[in-house]
Structure 1
Amino acid sequence: MSVLIFVESDISGSIKKTSLEAVAYGAEVAKMTGTSATVLAVGKADQVSLASAGQFGATKVLHASDERLSQENAMAYADVLTQAVQREGSKVVIISKSGLGDAVAARAAARLKAGVVSGVTDLPVVDSNFTVRRSIFTGKAFATTEIKSDVKILVINKNVIEAEGNDGVATIETFSPTLRDSDFQATVTSTEKENSEISLTEADIIVSGGRGMKGPDQWHPLLDLAKALGAATGCSKPVSDLDWRPHHEHIGQTGIKVAPNLYIACGISGAIQHLAGVNGSKCIVVINKDPEAPFFKAADYGIVGDVFEILPRLTEAVKAGM
């Protein structure tokens, strides 16, 4: 019996940072329940990266590498996860929150008759009852939920736990589940990597801009700061609607939801739809010349001033400190 952790790999086959957090989280749950932590990787995956799951507390990795699993397929992946749960006798399944993670969790829960909780923000309480804390109302409140089913699926938010590695190495086992043709009625024909070097969902630091950047040709100060920090770049919805920045950089309720360690908002007023996409950030810094901008109420630190004066100074300070 083990805690089973479903991990995602990036286009190069390396385990995503958010999934490594899930491994660390699952290892802690395994300690709490007196079991071990097993990772399930599906599709293309780098063997060295898989073995490194041991650095975060996993003792074993099951790798389902059938060619038909090389492209993300929530139906097939849920089937694989279900069979892995049954093989391992797992009572707790951990998945990092993402578009794929949510889809796999929901489908696997139906097949396993499992209780599933998404948006988990803390380690569970595993005394006489099994309860977890989760975010609700786009992060404006929290709820404590008891899971009574035999199998429990937890979909965890980013930054729930620090993923600190050690010298551990996990053993890798080939896992050959039975694949059903019905799971492949829809297939992915190709995958294209977005132009930005750093994924918004994986980034530790994000520098984001709004209409206060004034136009599509005025973003050099923001891009310079992002480069100096090794950060990803994002934008508000109006900016992407105006085609000032690519639509895959749109952060907000109708765009990408992010949870970096540091989020720097430049010239963004802070509409509720944008706040819903960034409220999982550990630290929010807002730069805006309007002292009444709503974003300041959600900020950990605020700078009132012109972004075109402040950003170059921040970039110089970052470079000087390197």
Structure 2
Amino acid sequence: MSIIIDSEQCTACESCIVACPYGGIEIIEGSAVITPDCNLCGACVDACPVEAITLERTEYIDKVDKSQFKGVWVIAEHYGGEIHKVAYQLLGKGRQLADILKTDLTIVILGTNFDQILSSFGDYGADRVIYVESKILKHYYSDIYVNLLSDLVSERKPEIILIGATPTGRDFAPRLAKRLNAGLTADCTGLEIEEETRNLRQTRPTFGGNLMATIRTPISRPQMATVRPGIFKASNETKKKIKIIKIEKDLNETDSVTKVLKVIKKQKTTVNLEDAEIIVSGGRGVGSKEGFKIIKDLADALGAELGGSRVTTELNWVEPDRQVGQTGKTVSPKLYIACGISGAIQHLVGMQNSEIIVAINRDKDAPIFGIAHYCLVGDLHEIVPILTKEVRKIKSED
């Protein structure tokens, strides 16, 4: 797409400048001119009173026979001989998508020494496992992954590919999409099917978490999406007899331009938000770093992890690894208590799947109340100490 300005028709009224939220247009020598800050939102087109600005859309010709593509794939990652938990979470969502499309769900594993667990993926909804086995695949090699996966996709033609938005997934997913000439949406928080078109509706935060965008890939296949750990939940209620396809590959280090010299395990952190059953988080409404003491007291009383919104980590009120949200951790505890958090989209996407959400805020119109199960309107500095006192009292009686 591109913005076209008719300089002869333009009156330099500056209505477009007022309408543009990104500073992507300015007046030069009596006519509006697009700057590199333009993001093609089209606000200037609607604002122009003389219709001197138009948004030119590129017409694409659908050259892909989409009827050849069937099935939903989940690409599994593994570390230290264990399958990453996001694979099980993607199987849960993948099963839902596959059922709507009336197609099969396949998990793809590139690795070694996984034979004994392959049949267990049927318990998580998979119909099929494609297991590419080679000793070198004990470790991750970007180029080998892309080469193997692109060959598999080209041969078997899945309709949808789901990948974890982990450091590894974020590395190979765009490379694979480029190789396949496929569309890719990163860091999705929602996935739905348009049944009439079989298009995957991929929802993700955009513009710094201030808006939610829904993206489709109507003209190419496969449709690819990455999803952060914790967005969806694994389901092991389905018991399926699974078909196992094992492909043995004779690979060695010469098949990659990189070489794994040494693997250094990251030291375990004391912060474990993603697996916590209870999280107590504070936001700007806490007021200060010192104000976080009452939030921590409640967390300690509940045996919970302490969390924070993005602004609290930026202000150094809490450590960065305690941030919940789009640019922090995605969590789904049994209980999430939000104290003084207004509910910006970028925070909500990181905790909206919590089983029970309790929100404390003095603003009765705070967006977080829209998803909270229990809403406490008032001063958190009065409410939180009362909650802490009651929790301690109950625990002392047990």
Q: Same fold (TM over 0.5)?
A: yes
Matched residue type, 2:290? K
Q: Secondary structure at the match of 1:42?
A: strand
Identity rate of aligned residues, in percent?
17
8 A Cα contact 2:210 2:344, kept in partner: no
8 A Cα contact 1:251 1:257, kept in partner: yes
Cα distance in 1 for partners of 2:120, 2:84 equals: 9
Cα distance in 2 for partners of 1:52, 1:75 equals: 29
Cα distance in 1 for partners of 2:272, 2:220 equals: 38
Taking structure 2 as the reference length, the TM-score comes to 0.62
Cα distance in 2 for partners of 1:311, 1:141 equals: 35
1:249 corresponds to 2:327: no
1:110 corresponds to 2:178: yes
The match for 1:191 is 265
8 A Cα contact 2:310 2:347, kept in partner: no
Question: Displacement, 1:149?
Answer: 0.9
1:51 corresponds to 2:51: no
When residues 81 and 66 of structure 1 are mapped into structure 2, their CA distance, relative to the original with a 3 A threshold, is: same
Taking structure 1 as the reference length, the TM-score comes to 0.73
Q: Deviations over 1:196-231 (max 9, x none)?
A: 47452x65653334574737876353034245xxxx
Instruction: Give 1:1-322 correspondences, 5 Å limit.
Output: 2-9=71-78, 13-16=82-85, 18-43=86-111, 49-118=117-186, 119=188, 121-128=190-197, 130-137=199-206, 138=209, 140-156=211-227, 158-159=230-231, 163-177=235-249, 181-184=255-258, 189-196=263-270, 198=272, 200=274, 206-209=279-282, 212=286, 214=290, 219-227=296-304, 233-237=306-310, 240=313, 245-253=318-326, 255-260=327-332, 264-270=336-342, 272=344, 275=347, 278=350, 280-282=352-354, 284-287=357-360, 290-291=362-363, 296-297=368-369, 300=372, 301-303=374-376, 304=378, 305-314=382-391
Matched residue type, 1:88? R
When residues 277 and 184 of structure 1 are mapped into structure 2, their CA distance, relative to the original with a 3 A threshold, is: farther
Question: Displacement, 1:295?
Answer: 6.5
Cα distance in 1 for partners of 2:215, 2:126 equals: 27
8 A Cα contact 1:236 1:274, kept in partner: no
Cα distance in 1 for partners of 2:281, 2:204 equals: 24
Cα distance in 1 for partners of 2:112, 2:300 equals: 33
Q: Secondary structure at the match of 2:192?
A: coil
Question: Displacement, 1:132?
Answer: 1.5
Which consecutive residues of structure 2, in runs of 5 or more, have no partner in the other structure?
Answer: 1-69
Question: Displacement, 1:5?
Answer: 1.2
Q: Which has the larger radius of gyration?
A: 2
Cα distance in 1 for partners of 2:395, 2:150 equals: 47
Cα distance in 2 for partners of 1:204, 1:90 equals: 36
Q: Deviations over 1:126-168 (max 9, x none)?
A: 4345241423423733425242213222334655577352333
Question: Displacement, 1:113?
Answer: 1.3
RMSD: 4.1
Question: Displacement, 1:68?
Answer: 3.9
Matched residue type, 1:93? I
8 A Cα contact 2:97 2:193, kept in partner: yes
Matched residue type, 1:5? V
8 A Cα contact 1:15 1:49, kept in partner: no
Cα distance in 2 for partners of 1:220, 1:46 equals: 44
